[in-house]
Structure 1
Amino acid sequence: MTAAALDVPIDTDVIRQTIHEDGIIGCKGAFSRAWVEQLREDVEAAFAEAQSRENGSVGRGPNRYYVEIHPEALRGFVDLVDHPWVRATCEAILGPDYTIVEVGFDIPFEGAKNQPWHRDFPSPPETTEEGRLTSLAFNVTCVDTEKDMGPFEVAPGTHWDKGEEFNHGMFPLKKEYGRFEERAVRKYPQMGDISARSALTVHRGTKNESAKSRPVLVLGVDAPGAGNDEHHDLAVTRTYWESLPQRVRDHLSCPIVDELTPITQKHTIEGLVMGEA
């Protein structure tokens, strides 16, 4: 474990129970602030590069963007995916043969609006019929989150909603919003914190009333057969692959290339483009 990855308590029974009941769990102080400052530098550099070309980023509502990147864009990629709490959470929920399928980041800027309540994709049969979760999304804030910065809002326990009446299996009808607002919890993570959630847990980004951006790194992980890799274009160069620890390679199933091609964003969620408006 590197100096960036700080020692934190790990109780896999608590992880399983909390994610089963709430659909989300947090880990305070998993990384040093210096490591997060470096992460923010890498995210901001990747965002500037993405904005310089067509389809380098995708809108997730007014003044809110998502960018998918390759692992090599992050100097701390190995620190993140090899953190003991991250590995323990993946194994507890997804099993030992989990696969990293997505690395990206979401940035709401000043003027970002409330997103509609949503989940990131329709609930699969493994969840609706078998009660089994097949994916996790880890979030790492790049800043200390304040109340006026458009914090992430989640409705705990809604990952088990079948969503049969949701538009496209993802968007609850507005007449149902009251149920989610009653459960809603706003999250205020600080630099060094990390969370893990089921992407099926109904959530939204809220209005950013500050003059600050709130960049958040996203790490997507699948259980075997979940199939979310079809929506992403993760790749690594041969040189980078050879530098990775074997236990990181074991969870990367992506093309190994001589030269990386910048990712053209394709994981668009149309219902988020206009925000609540």
Structure 2
Amino acid sequence: MPETSLAPNLDSAVQDLYTAGITACRGAFTPEWADAMRDDIEKAFAEARGREGGAVGRGPHRFYVEIHPEQLRGFVDLVDHPWVRGVAEAVLGADYRIVELGFDVPLAGAVNQPWHRDFPMPEATRHRRRLTSLAFNLTAVDTREDMGPFEIAPGTQWDDDPRFGHGMFPPRGSYPRYASLAERKYPRRGDVSARSALTIHRGTANHSPDARPVLVLGIDAPGAGNDAQHDMAVTREYWASLPGRVRAHLHCPVVEELTPIVQKHTIEGLVMGDA
């Protein structure tokens, strides 16, 4: 169970996720920890862009890369952080599963994405209003207005409209509603947010000369099924080094040697950006 001292914050976080669809823990890590994370992201990004299928486009000058846990020095710090563990358990249950580790990189020149959610609404959400997946995000930089901040329309995780393209993209006629609800987020190094990937959101245009890398940790309730979109693995040596309570939530192959991930979680509607 989550630490008693965190219970009030966890109660608030759960309420936030079921109302606004997003919540945050400010200063969960030090800026120096976030700087090390950025170093790992930049190394993995350079490697991924140098091979076929290593990075997938999420719009002009915007990329997504999935990585293995061993590529992030702070992986255990992140998944074993009391707030991350507590929120995951409170929303997804004691048997939650870590299914995704990756990062988004909006480069200079990235344009507005279309409003979207990351996957179609599951039946458990549609019929029982139960969240079955969370995305935890950590910025690698202190976000400025000109860097193309993340924009989210609170409360829209429950929007259920048969006109959504592929169950993910609202019709353009509804854009004014999302724009009227929209909140831009300006996280700083060390902050952690958690959101329902169903909450309608978009990346905005990056007018700065700087990239805005963001780490993504995806966690599912048992049976949610998002693990089919991801290919993380760990080596036997790394698996043996993990705390037992991390291993309990990491249902991925244990291998002798890691192979580079070919990206599977493509979102075709994001490739061209917003018109």
Scaled by the length of structure 2, the TM-score of the pair is 0.97
Q: How do 1:130-145 residues align onto structure 2 when only pairs under 5 Å count? A: 130-145=128-143
Q: Deviations over 1:234-262 (max 9, x none)?
A: 10000000000000000000000000010
1:272 matched to which residue of 2? 270
Pick aligned residue for 1:111 from 109, 112, 118: 109
3-state SS of paired residue (1:262): coil
Pick aligned residue for 1:181 from 154, 174, 179: 179
Letter in 1 for 2:137: N
1:208 matched to which residue of 2? 206
Cα shift at 1:8? 7.7
1:158–1:210 Cα change, 3 Å: same
1:192 matched to which residue of 2? 190
Q: Which runs of 5+ in 2 are unaligned?
A: none
Of 73-82 and 154-163, the range deviating more from structure 2: 154-163
Is the contact between residue 10 and residue 83 of structure 2 (CA under 8 Å) also seen in structure 1?
A: no
Q: Deviations over 1:209-244 (max 9, x none)?
A: 000000000000000100000000010000000000
1:52 matched to which residue of 2? 50
| Off by >6 Å, runs of 4+ in structure 1 | none
1:41 matched to which residue of 2? 39
Letter in 2 for 1:105: F
Q: Which runs of 5+ in 1 are unaligned?
A: 1-6
Q: Deviations over 1:14-52 (max 9, x none)?
A: 111111100000110000011001000000000000011
1:120 matched to which residue of 2? 118
Letter in 2 for 1:113: V
3-state SS of paired residue (1:140): strand
Cα shift at 1:91? 0.7
The separation in 2 between residues aligned to 1:188 and 1:215, in whole angstroms, is 13
Of 87-96 and 11-20, the range deviating more from structure 2: 11-20
2:226 matched to which residue of 1? 228
The separation in 1 between residues aligned to 2:6 and 2:43, in whole angstroms, is 29
The separation in 2 between residues aligned to 1:216 and 1:265, in whole angstroms, is 17
Letter in 1 for 2:241: S
Is the contact between residue 64 and residue 109 of structure 1 (CA under 8 Å) also seen in structure 2?
A: yes
3-state SS of paired residue (1:11): helix
The aligned length equals 271
1:60–1:271 Cα change, 3 Å: same
Cα shift at 1:9? 8.1
The percentage of aligned residue pairs carrying the same residue is: 65
Is the contact between residue 10 and residue 85 of structure 1 (CA under 8 Å) also seen in structure 2?
A: no
Give RMSD over aligned pairs: 1.1
3-state SS of paired residue (1:110): coil
3-state SS of paired residue (1:209): coil
